Structure 1
Amino acid sequence: MPEAAFTTCPYCGVGCGVEVTREADGWKVRGDDAHPANLGRLCSKGAALGETLSPDGRLLYPEIGGQRVNWDTALDAVADGFRQVIEKHGPQAVAFYVSGQLLTEDYYVANKLMKGFIGSANIDTNSRLCMSSAVAAYKRAFGTDTVPVCYEDLEQADLVVFAGSNAAWAHPVLYQRVAAAKRKRPHMKIAVIDPRRTATSDIADWHVALKPGSDAVLLDGLLVHLADAGKLDETFIAAHTEGFDAALDAARAAAPTLDAVAAACELDPHLLAGFYAAFTDTEKVVTLWSQGLNQSSSGVDKGNAVINLHLATGRIGRPGMGPFSITGQPNAMGGREVGGLANQLAAHMDFAPADVDRVRRFWNAPRIAAAPGLKAVDLFQAVTSGAVKAVWIVATNPAFSLPEADAVRAGLAGCELVVVSDCVRDTDTVREAHIWLPALGWGEKGGTVTNSERCISRVRPFLDPAGEARPDWWMFAEVGRRLGYADAFDFADEAAVFREYADMTNFENDDTRDLRLGPLATLDTAAYADLQPVQWPLADDGTSRARLFADGRFYHPDRRARFVAVTPRPPARAANGADTLVLNTGRLRDQWHSMSRTAKTARLTAHRPEPFVEVHPDDARRLHLADGGLAHLLGADGEMLARVRLDDGQRPGSVFVPMHWSDAHARRARVNALLGTITDPISGQPEFKHAPVVVAPWRPHWQAFLLSRQRLADLPGEYACEVRAKGHWRYELAGDGKPADWGVWVHDTLRGSGEWLEYADPTGGRFRAARLRDGRLEAAAFVARGDSTLPERDWLGRMYAEDHIDDAARMSLLVGRPGKGMVDAGQSVCSCFSVGLNTIIEAIREHDLQTPEAIGALLQAGTNCGSCVPELRRIIAETRVAG
């Protein structure tokens, strides 16, 4: 393995380049200055990648029924199991469920096997959950799934509209590029359309805090306003589009006046007028949208409402303008390219008879699927009903991530054959598998990914495989061989897979398809290894285009774009009753998906260590919810427990819960268990942003936290959350059943020898204990009644860095307060430099700091990835108000 590598970050769809070098104390990760996506920047997650490479928690060997086997035995079992189901029930009885975490080569071979040779289109991807509505919107408008803009457009625009996107946390590097552009060009304006005041709003000139679910009314109203203001590009509309009159008529019916829109969206008319005027009068506008629009029962229409605005003004294909859907996962775009969705074929072809025949001939496929397969939610409902009897799940955790997560888990438990290939040994889904296949992880695998601006980048290995892990494309190819299709899956390496895919994009493509990679089809292995970032489409001479549709030629048969008439539809489920609130889900700044990677480093778990529900203070008072207390959330399809966080940036009547906690890290904390299987009728994307929930205080009989150098198991309590901290593990617990003796309970839980310190206050309902060995702190427990306050955790955790606990520190352990000379830095704010809240507040007061830049100059906070800058600004304001 090399001592250094240039590769691509495995997190969001920004697609940042990273430089990895081996140093004495491990792998050092920094941003690649030459990569066009990030130009050297990294977010907190990317900067901490080197800390997540430990082999702990990895799936290392093939297993059947929990017993280790060799690869031949495991792959034979997979092939035999699928063959038996197909022979008995037909190809529609089997399915693959794959992931935006896969590389393009993995995706391609899986798609070829299922659609070309098994003969079913039952292969879908977890990208269905994040961007399939945008795909459908682009295809309806342009005739193809084409993102027409590039990242530079965000920096060149005079107005950037973030619609349903908290880019500051979900796509931090791209957000920082926009923030830097605004600093350089003060006339540049930012609008944020979001019911919540998120970190992205920190740079906003307009925060359009609309009523949840009313996006289409807002966007329709803007189309009407453009028409009434005489700001339509009538020449462009006439020459290059169809359907404008119907789209405008539908918009007028839904949003006839600005006042009507303000009323429907519950907005201040003056704020709305200011935003509409800015959009109307600004030529260079980019509208960037993400999950807030996509994850809706009418997400496709919302995407088309955005695109309508740009077609109506001709703001497309030129620098600084265009409709820009930004994807969530590192290779969601690559999956779209090779047919990872159940309603697509590879190379941006569909199930039109001509496309089916073309793919059949290119692959020489004997039994190619001729119709779309089951989309994600439908696929797992088919697993539950028994219609799908064998499923292969790859690099994803549907028992955690899909709506009605409990039902998905039950369906997998009853399925005849569940195969899981993953690099993680314990997930909610892995627990239900019959066959486990160990996959290469980031740093071990090689291939390509495509980011949100259509830029293909290399992922390069720099680590030896963990255990017997293998590439995902290789597993699919080996099963294809065992099913009798050896010639079709005779790939020597991932370079051979890529060449075939690139060749397919140009096969019988006379500019009828946008995706063209022809010049890359001749890359030899060395040239593939050295492939530099390149944006498609590629002309025959190898030149690429950053923007598309400048010529006004689209990909419908008449080469015209289509306006789509959008009639707003409310969310499928309304919140009724005084105790019922609207649930919105989303990402955190420092976490990724189910935290299988990010939870490995204490730097990333410190900012938001527990599952929480964010509530407006007015709702909290009305519902008797206490800041820092626990709440019980009950939805139509499940329940969860979460810590309460008060935030006046939350819209009254709504709550926000992060998506990240699975059973591997917390008990009763999977938010998707609350969500019903409501999907967009076109895209099949679930409605994750609007679900009615009842939120009530949960008052346990006791609560506790434990600190331990060793990882603990079989923890008590109805609520339990595990947090990786620096040098130790932290456990937050709460429960109803009180043990007879807290001392016995703590000794049994914190198993181990050493010197014990204990303090008991039965009257006050408190118990504290610590175990020391050779003068070092090994474990500690703090227990209190459910209505009592527990000590702060940060200063206690810092004791794990000490080689010897002196008498004063021992007393502090039992008293539950930091002693003289002990520093309580507070909960982490800046993950890059581990700067705590108390440290920041003290510095603001002592040095009269008034800007995030001043804090950065003193403490470094905010000077690396910049993701904490909005929070620093808020802390400054709150501290100065408090005096």
Structure 2
Amino acid sequence: MGASIIPIAAAVRTTCPYCGVGCGVKATPMADGALIEGDPDHMASRGRLCVKGSALGETLGLDGRLLRPAIREGGHLRDAGWDEAIGTVASRFAAIIAEHGPDAVAMYVSGQLLTEDYYVANKFMKGYVGSANIDTNSRLCMSSSVAGHKRAFGEDLVPGCYEDFELADMIVLVGSNTAWCHPTLFQRITRAKELRPSLRIVAIDPRRTATCELADLHLPVKAGTDVWLFNGLLSYLARHGAANEAFVAAHTAGLDAALLEADGCADIDVVARTCGIDPRKLLEFYEAFAATGKVVTAFSQGVNQSSAGTDKVNSIINCHLLTGRIGQPGMGPFSLTGQPNAMGGREVGGLANMLAAHLELDQPAHREAVRGFWDAPRIADKPGLKAVDLFRAIEAGTVKAVWIMATNPVVSLPDADQVKRALARCELVVVSDVSGATDTAAFGHVLLPALGWGEKDGTVTNSERCISRQRGFLPSPGEARADWEAICQVAQRMGFQGFDYEGAHEIFDEHARLSAWKSSEAELARAFRLDGLVGMGREAYDALEPVQWPVLRGREGTPRLFGDGRFSHPGGKARFVTTAPRAPVHKTGGEFPLALNTGRLRDQWHTMTRTGKSPRLAGHSPEPFVDLHPHDALLAGVKEGELARVSSRWGAVVARVAHSGGIARGAAFVPIHWNGQTASDARVGAVVNPEVDPVSGEPEFKHTPVRVEPFGVAWHGFVLSRDELDLEAVANWTRVCGAGFVRYELAGREAVTPERARALLRATEESEWIEYEDKTEGMLRCALLVDGRLQACLFMARRPDLPSRAWLGSLFAEGVLSVKDRATLLAGRAPAQGADPGPTVCSCFGVGRNTICKAIAEHGLTDAAGVTACVRAGGNCGSCLPEIRQLLVVVRESLSVAH
């Protein structure tokens, strides 16, 4: 969506809805959307935005929005008023509870919710329904960190702040493609490295990702072997005099048992062999860690998303506790949160095994304190079902009603086809979402239209414990309402008191007061405190500046925790946790020889319901792909650029084979983002195994045994069209959002004749049709023009190497096509004086690979700064800089060969 030149209201300071960095945004409402800029006054980002944040203005349209409640009857949805929809949810929830008990109902929520939504949802379920069957998609990304923090520190606490990355002398990035998944934080790291080249960067990741391009050392560990590596480091530190004995003696417990286990990894050669890395590089890492006082070890999904995720987290924390590198500037373990409010959800007890305000569900005094504060009729007295178990219970029929909010589990959960079976059997599925066309909404009996980013109002908490306001700057569309309002209305209809809030500010005040409730009592003491934010009215809440908790007085935040050596365990000591190395539960071999790793792409988010609307974000990675080592591709009989089926014992996807050069033999990588609306067969969650960490319940997204085999088709092709097309009969398709058109990548088994092409593109007698067919080569090229403007075009051939989509796509911005454009249209090549920019590299400025390579060659560019100065690429979010550096090498090598 473009933005008009003249603003219709003043800029509003808000917070980005994507990753856990929590960047500040300045949004200026325009007549046709919003102008999006970084907020220079926000402490987390200092005016920076990544390409996804910069493109937020393109995602605000109402196409595909759920704008009014709907109820499914006889397999068909019909519009309903809010009163009927709320009454249906409340009465059916109440009836199921009355007949089967409170544990027969559940909620499954999301890190996309605001803290106020999360708070009300947990109060409703745990305090009034009386069941802890409320879990969140944060279970899928951050629950191992939560469990690791609680075991080590006594509370779910991230001790450091982003400034520590700039103050450190060594940064270890473990299982984190920071360059793509937390881009603005990576910019800060990059800038710190430029100002201080002695800053040492170590990347520990099975893949050679964009992040590794900045690293001084890359350790490509075999998936699942992190505990071996960090147990080995712990043993090395203890044996080489790197322990801070005074700190350990005064402020920790449990070292002897942890060291006894870690000493089983004392042999560097054995650890290196187990981890699949060069022993010299492993020793280099151990020596550097031991010799460097200011070390930050940041970890993300590569650590968390494992059946041993919690132990991986604790093996990292153990090394920092042994050396006393925690609580001081420039040092500490640092969990990089996946979602914008994964931490805010944890503050209010968003997981099924937690209570609000960091109180413990298994502690009677804590339960009674929360029940008393809420004046609730009951309180959940046992943990609820974690995400994977919850949907198993739904399929088994023990959970008979589920309310799903702001998440798409049919795409995102492991063994996702099981989720489909579960929802198909469920008596009542309520879906609150901004979109009515998600894979999950297709199973909803009641659909409730929710406010989206730019419309809703509340707070989020980022990875460094910074509470920020998300402020609305757009009107509420249709009949959409805040999620907390929908929950409150259902609660009131069920006869529950305590849900009569006048606004989000009242919910936040109750949340802050609960954090301070009896906090001076020893058995309820915890670090999470918002005392200084208690009592804010609407005006003060609206003006709230970003602040890091705990906030004990005067709205002054706390950048770092544990500086005094006191932790949240009874007695105030941190605990070393014994972490026994163990391999992933499901082994590769035989029928499934490859280990599948899944993860995010640079320019997309979750299941694409937001980012999929932006043409700018679609250009970099427009299709699902499977990244393979060329040797494995050869063994599987698949070729780069062709389609392949990736199968496990749980399901399968179809993706195009790619060779990034960054993946080891025996491994495969498939992105997580495609859903049933954007691709015919690419929900990778259906492939992922449902094994979970026994402590955290987090699934094993990084290691699923799979096989890869050819997906045979007779032809490959693509369509660009101003209108949506029906392609269900095609063997494989991907839908991509373009600027003024929709792009479909296709592959089929039945020949497409010119007659079928005319029907597909909806040609009429009034439209102009041009075509070129070569039956010998199996080639067909067609174009449909209406009033001289390009309406649609189709290109197909037996081979997948088809004409450039970028240049053809640019013709949709033209008026009446020129004679020259018509002459070259079916050739798929730009006119001689024009230029095909090639595949997108820099999404911020729309700069293609060909443009960058040409600039490098013609101007003799030698570094990324030169490329930025010449063609702007890399000049905004910096996510494309690793790719630009690779192109610099490729072009220089090609020029040297040519000469």
Q: Which band: TM-score by shorter chain? A: over 0.9
Indicate if the aligned counterparts of 2:763 and 2:784 stay in contact, CA closer than 8 A.
no
- Partners of 1:715 and 1:749 within 8 A in 2: no
Which of 623, 630, 634 is the aligned partner of 1:610?
A: 623
Q: Structure 2 residue aligned with 1:735, among 744, 748, 757?
A: 748
1:501-548 per-residue CA deviation (whole Å, 9 max, x = no partner) reads: 100000000171111001212001100011000110012344321111
In 2: Cα distance, 1:26 partner to 1:389 partner:
41
Partner of residue 264, structure 1: 274
| Residue 742 of structure 1, CA deviation | 3.9
Matched-pair contact (CA < 8 Å) for 2:726–2:760: no
Structure 1 residue 811 displacement after superposition: 2.5
The 2-side partners of 1:186 and 1:840 are apart by 27
Q: Which amino acid aligns with 1:10?
A: P
3-state SS of the aligned residue for 1:759?
Answer: strand
1:658 and 2:671 matched: yes
Letter paired with 1:804 = V
Distance in 2 between residues matched to 1:23 and 1:371, nearest whole Å: 49
Q: 2:308 aligns with which of 291, 298, 301?
A: 298
1:797 and 2:809 correspond: yes
Given the alignment of the two structures, is residue 491 of structure 1 paired with residue 514 of structure 2, yes or no? no
| Cα distance in 2 between the residues matched to 1:16 and 1:237 | 36
Q: 1:350 deviation in Å?
A: 1.1
Shift in Å at residue 714 of structure 1?
A: 4.1
Residues 747-767 of structure 1 show CA distances to partners (whole Å, capped at 9, x for unaligned) of: 234455510001111121111
- Match runs of 1:665-744 below 5 Å: 665-738=678-751, 741-744=753-756
The letter of the residue matching 1:840 is I
Structure 1 residue corresponding to 2:375, chosen from 341, 364, 368: 364
Q: Distance in 2 between matches of 1:74 and 1:88?
A: 21
- SS of the residue 1:420 aligns to: strand
Q: State the Cα deviation string for residues 75-121 of structure 1 (Å, max 9, x = none).
A: 00000010111011110000000000000000000000000000000
Q: CA deviation at 1:25?
A: 5.9
Q: Contact 1:37 / 1:151 at 8 angstroms: preserved in 2?
A: yes
Q: What is the distance in 1 between the residues matched to 2:554 and 2:55?
A: 39
For the 8 Å contact 2:154–2:567, the answer to whether it is kept is yes
| 1: CA distance, partners of 2:817 / 2:500 | 62
Q: What is the DSSP-based 3-state SS (H/G/I as helix, E as strand, rest coil) of the residue aligned with 2:173?
A: strand
1:237-636 maps to which residues of 2 (within 5 A)?
Answer: 237-253=248-264, 255-351=265-361, 352-485=363-496, 487-510=497-520, 512-577=525-590, 580-636=593-649
1-structure distance, mates of 2:590, 2:215:
33
Who is 2:138 aligned against?
127
| SS of residue in 2 equivalent to 1:347 | helix
User: Which letter does structure 1 place at the counterpart of 2:294?
Assistant: K
- Aligned-pair CA distance for 1:639: 0.4
**Per-residue deviation, 1:813:** 2.1
Secondary structure of the 1:489 match is coil
Secondary structure of the 2:329 match is coil
Structure-1 separation of matches of 2:540 and 2:555: 14
Query: Which amino acid in the other structure matches residue 42 of structure 1?
Result: L
Q: Which amino acid aligns with 2:376?
A: A
CA distance in 2, matches of 1:184, 1:426: 48
Aligned residue identity for 2:288 = A
**Which of 173, 184, 208 in structure 2 is aligned with 1:197?**
208
Q: Which residue of the other structure, out of 856, 861, 872, is the alignment partner of 2:873?
A: 861
Query: Does the 8 Å contact 2:109/2:135 carry over to 1?
Result: yes
Alignment deviations for residues 453-496 of structure 1 (CA, whole Å, 9 cap, x no partner): 000000101000111000000001111101101x3101111011
**Once the 2 structures are TM-superposed, how far is the Cα of residue 579 of structure 1 from its aligned partner?**
6.6
Aligned equivalents of 2:728, 2:870: Cα separation in 1: 41
Secondary structure at 1:584 match in 2: strand
Kindly indicate whether residue 842 of structure 2 is the aligned counterpart of residue 835 of structure 1. no
Q: How many pairs does the alignment contain?
A: 879
Deviates more, 1:399-408 or 1:612-621: 612-621
Instruction: Give 2:4's aligned residue.
Output: none
3-state SS in 2 of match to 1:572: coil
Distance in 2, matches of 1:840 and 1:350, equals 55
> Cα deviations across residues 143-201 of structure 1 (Å, max 9, x unaligned)?
10011000001110000000000010000001111111111111110000001000111
1:172 aligned onto 2:176: no
Name the aligned partner's letter for residue 371 of structure 1. Answer: K
Counterparts of 1:22 and 1:77, CA distance in 2: 36
SS of the counterpart of 1:564?
A: coil
**SS in structure 1 at match of 2:451:** coil
1:623, CA displacement in angstroms? 2.6
Native 8 Å contact 2:21 2:340 kept in 1: yes
Alpha-carbon distance in 2 for matches of 1:182, 1:807: 53
1:355 offset after TM fit, Å? Answer: 0.5
Q: 1:109 to 1:2 in 2, by over 3 A?
A: farther
Could you tell me how far 1:447 is from its partner in structure 2?
0.3
Which region of structure 1 is more displaced relative to structure 2, 616-625 or 61-70? 616-625
Which position in structure 1 is the counterpart of 2:5? none
- Structure 2 spans left out of the alignment, 5+ residues: 1-7
Contact conserved, 1:617 with 1:647, CA < 8 A, in 2?
no
1:780 matched residue in structure 2? 793
Q: Deviations over 1:197-229 (max 9, x none)?
A: 001111101101111111110000000110111
Instruction: Name the residue aligned to 2:59.
Output: 52
Query: What corresponds to 2:829 in structure 1?
Result: 817
Q: 1:42 aligns to what?
A: 49
Contact 1:579 1:623 in 2 (8 A): no
Q: CA RMSD in A?
A: 1.3
One of 232, 238, 243 as aligned partner of 2:243: 232
Q: 2:168 aligns with which of 157, 168, 175?
A: 157
Residues 440, 465 of structure 1: 8 Å contact kept? yes
Instruction: Find the aligned partners of 2:11 and 2:204 in 1 and give their Cα distance.
Output: 42
AA of the residue aligned to 1:590: D
How far apart, in 2, do the equivalents of 1:855 and 1:540 lie? 49
Tell me the distance in 1 between the aligned counterparts of 2:267 and 2:227. 14
How many Å separate the matches in 2 of 1:109 and 1:692? 40
The SS at the match of 1:522 is coil
Alignment of 1:627-646 (within 5 A): 627-646=640-659
- Matched to 1:744, the amino acid is R
What SS class does the counterpart of residue 481 from structure 1 fall into? helix
Q: Which amino acid aligns with 2:66?
A: L
2:417 is paired with a residue whose SS is helix
Bigger CA drift: 612-621 or 152-161?
612-621
Contact 2:50 2:183 in 1 (8 A): yes
Match for residue 6 of structure 1? 13
| TM-score normalised by the chain length of structure 2 | 0.96
Tell me the distance in 2 between the aligned counterparts of 1:578 and 1:266. Answer: 23
What does the per-residue CA deviation read over 1:769-794, in whole Å, with 9 as the maximum and x for residues that have no partner? Answer: 10011111000011222x45322211
Q: Could you say if the C-alpha distance between residues 275 and 480 of structure 1 is closer, same or farther in structure 2, counting changes exceeding 3 Å?
A: same
For 2:416 and 2:234, how far apart are their aligned partners in 1?
Answer: 38
> Percent of counterpart pairs with the same letter?
53
Partner Cα separation in structure 2 for residue 750 and residue 876 of structure 1: 44
Separation in 2 of the partners of 1:176 and 1:361? 46
The verdict on how the C-alpha distance between 1:514 and 1:731 changes in structure 2, with shifts beyond 3 A counting, is same
Q: Which residue of 2 aligns with 1:74?
A: 85
Report if the CA contact (8 A) 2:855-2:861 is conserved: yes
- Tell me the distance in 2 between the aligned counterparts of 1:434 and 1:738: 40
In 2, Cα distance between equivalents of 1:488 and 1:25: 39
Runs of 5+ consecutive residues of structure 1 not aligned to the other structure: none
Rounded to whole Å, the distance in 2 between the matches of 1:716 and 1:40 is 47
Could you say which residue in structure 2 is the equivalent of 1:870?
A: 882
Letter paired with 2:29? R
TM superposition shift of 1:53: 0.7
